[in-house]
Structure formats: structure tokens, C-alpha cells
Amino acid sequence: MESPDTTPKPRFSSYFNRSVTLNSPSAALEEQVTTKPLYNLYTSPSLQRSASIYTSPFASMVSLKGKVRKLCSIFESPKPPPSKPSKLLLSPPDSAPKSIQSPVADAPFRLPGTEDRVVIYHTSLRGIRKTFQDCHSTRMIFRGFRVSVDERDISMDVAYRKELQRVLGETHVSLPQVFIKGKYIGGADVIRQLLEAGELIRLIKGLPLGPAKPCANCNDMRFAPCANCNGSRKVFDEDDEQRKRCTECNENGLVRCPLCCS
């Protein structure tokens, strides 16, 4: 008869073994490796889902660019190769400046008695800026050529305005207006075009030169106060013993400068 095993055994050995098995990470990993393939372990659905989030936008952008490029190639016509410039230019291009025909040959209006000068009807008032600038620039152009210029300011003498209306046959006339050698030329735009084309020098050729310095009496204003009434437009008549209107000056009490406008 065998003697019973008297070796003491721990009462809670199975409990501790179970706890170690459940809580040990190495044991859990061994169980997963042995029960599941290694490929499935690293390609879980969660990892596949996260990878698709980062790779799918770039793939769609590349495919979208390709579609857009394909559509553009369908609707766009191919660009022709750049043509080489020809060495000989047979005809001038459309953008080349064309020569301006001189308006003197067929001028419809004439100003008698001014064949030896340039006559400019202008205004010295600054009420309308563009009109004043056009008048000033036109005067400076002819003064630069130092030719004899007869400047007729309609704001100084209303008789000049009536004279211009009578010559042109219009009641509303823009300023300035230029006559060269008694023939009507035009306004400021025409003078600038003739100057740029080189035609203005030919038109004023042969005219006498004007004074090199400003007039000492009127400072190139072309007008001076009346010496008879001192600019008051009134004189005393000794026969009637009353004041009368001066007949030697205009409505502003001015007369043409006797030095530069004689």
C-alpha cells in the first residue's frame, strides 16, 4: 500500500496561474500569433481605413487633373508656331502714323488783312480749365517758333468774339481758333497733330519773326488801359457839361497796345 503524498500543495496555484495567463501581454501576443496569421495582425481594418483616408485625396486630384487636361486638349485649338519677321516690309503697318493732309489748300474760311501773321482767337479766363489749357498750349507753340502772332483775346474785347462768329458763320465757337496767313486752320487738336507730323513748320514758313522779349507796355497782354478815360469808360463833355461814354476804348476800358499791336 502506497503511502499518501504528504507534500504540501498551494491552494491558490490554479488561480495565480490563470491570472498570469490573462494579464501577461506576452502570453496574449503568443495566443494571437498562434491563432491568427501575421499578415492579418498588421493589416487590421482600422489600419486599412486610416491608410485610405490619406492616400485617396491625392489619387483623386491626380485623376481630376488628367481629366481637365484632356478636356482642354479637346476644346483648345493648337497654337501655330511663331512666324519669323520678314526682312523686307513691303507695306507700312496699320499702326504707323499717317501723314496729315494740310488743311490750308481747301480752307473754307479766310481772314482778310492777316496774310503776314498768325492770328489766334483765345481766352485768358480760367473758368473752363480745358479751354484755358488748350488756348495756353496753342499760344506757347507759336511763341516757340518766334513768328509774328496776333493774339485776340475775346474775354478782353467782345468785338473779337463777334468777328470770329461772323467769319466762321457760327454762333457757338470753341476756342482756340487759328488762322495762318489769313487761312483758317482749326483748333488745338489740329495744331497738335500738325506739329507732330511736321506740317506746322511748313505752314508758317516765310512769316516775319516776332519780338524776342515781352512787350514793356502790356507784358504781352495785348491790351492797355485807355489813355483818354484812364479805363473808366467815361469822359466829360464840356459842351453838354455832362459825362459821356468814351468812344476810344472797349466795354472794359481797354485799348489795343500801341507798341506790340500797332
- Asked whether residue 162 is domain-assigned, the answer is yes
User: What pLDDT does residue 179 have?
Assistant: 97
Per the model's pLDDT, the better-predicted residue between 68 and 251 turns out to be 251
Residue 136 and residue 156 in one domain: yes
Given a cut of 70, is residue 48 above it in pLDDT? no
Given a cut of 60, is residue 250 above it in pLDDT? yes
Residue 189 and residue 240 in one domain: no
Given a cut of 80, is residue 183 above it in pLDDT? yes
- Asked whether residue 38 is domain-assigned, the answer is no
User: What pLDDT does residue 240 have?
Assistant: 85
- Asked whether residue 165 is domain-assigned, the answer is yes
Whichever domain contains 166, its CATH number is 3.40.30.10
Scanning the chain, the segments in alpha helix (DSSP H) are 13-23, 25-35, 38-42, 45-75, 129-145, 158-168, 188-197, 199-203
CA distance 207 to 14: 135
Band the pLDDT of 261: cuts 50, 70, 90: confident
- Asked whether residue 23 is domain-assigned, the answer is no
Residue 130 and residue 199 in one domain: yes
- Asked whether residue 11 is domain-assigned, the answer is no
- Asked whether residue 234 is domain-assigned, the answer is yes
Asked if residue 75 lies in contact with residue 69, where contact means CB atoms within 8 angstroms, the answer is no
Residue 197 and residue 154 in one domain: yes
Residue 158 and residue 233 in one domain: no
Given a cut of 80, is residue 154 above it in pLDDT? yes
Of 42-56, 94-108, 164-178, 242-256, the poorest mean pLDDT is in 42-56
User: What pLDDT does residue 214 have?
Assistant: 87
Contacts for 224-233: CB closer than 8 Å, 24+ residues apart: 224/254, 224/255, 224/256, 224/257, 224/258, 225/253, 225/254, 225/255, 226/253, 226/254, 226/255, 227/255, 229/253
Band the pLDDT of 260: cuts 50, 70, 90: confident
Range of the domain at 243: 214-262
234 contact partners, CB below 8 Å, separation of at least 6: 243, 244, 245, 246
Q: Which residue has the cell 496767313?
A: 181
CA distances in angstroms from 116 to 59, 104, 148, 203, 212, listed in the order given: 87, 15, 8, 12, 18
- Number of folded domains that form the chain: 2
CA distance 61 to 194: 62
**Tell me: the pLDDT tens digits for 62-90?**
566 666 666 556 555 555 555 554 443 33
pTM: 0.59
- Asked whether residue 244 is domain-assigned, the answer is yes
